[in-house]
Amino acid sequence: MINALGLLEVRGLATAIEAADAMLKSANVRLLRQWRTDPGMISLVVEGDLAACRAALDAGAAAALRLGEVVSRCEIGRPDPDTETLVDAMLRPPETAAAPAAGLDEAAVLARIAAEPGGMSLVDLQTVFPFVGLNRGWLQAQCRAGTLQRRRGRYFRAGGKP
């Protein structure tokens, strides 16, 4: 059960980081999640008791105004269970598609990456394999499995030289 929620929407990444830092330092709250709502707009959600959420929002809004712009802010004390359900659904991280799309020849993709001494970016790979649904989630899963390595935005075969 959530005691109180504080929501702060700001414009700009540096502004969001500064606001989140101020919010967490000023009151006994927990940052539930941050996410980008529009290009350049970031929402921060904190949870704690009502007074702590208010203090955190005041501090976060003041810090955000020094660097950028506060788009909106909201405190919700003792949210209704339906509101909690809505917030929980919004705060759940987006699911990434780690499974390869139908038609993706994994061996061909891995061989092509191995053939490039300078590695390949996702855009390079999508140019070579345009219609197979190659996605970042699959590449990240390959990195976690140890098949690929990622350096400076480029993918290499594990053990390959940059």
Q: Which long-range contacts (CB under 8 A, 24 or more apart) does 156-160 make?
A: 156/113, 156/119, 157/110, 157/113, 157/114, 160/114, 160/117, 160/119
Tokens encoding 8 = 């702060």
- Looking at 1.10.260.40, 3.30.70.1710, 3.40.50.2300, 3.30.930.10, the CATH number of the domain 4-91 comes to 3.30.70.1710
d(CA 150, CA 128): 18
0.85 exceeded by pTM = no
pLDDT digit string (tens) for 26-69? 999 999 888 887 788 999 999 999 999 999 999 999 999 999 89
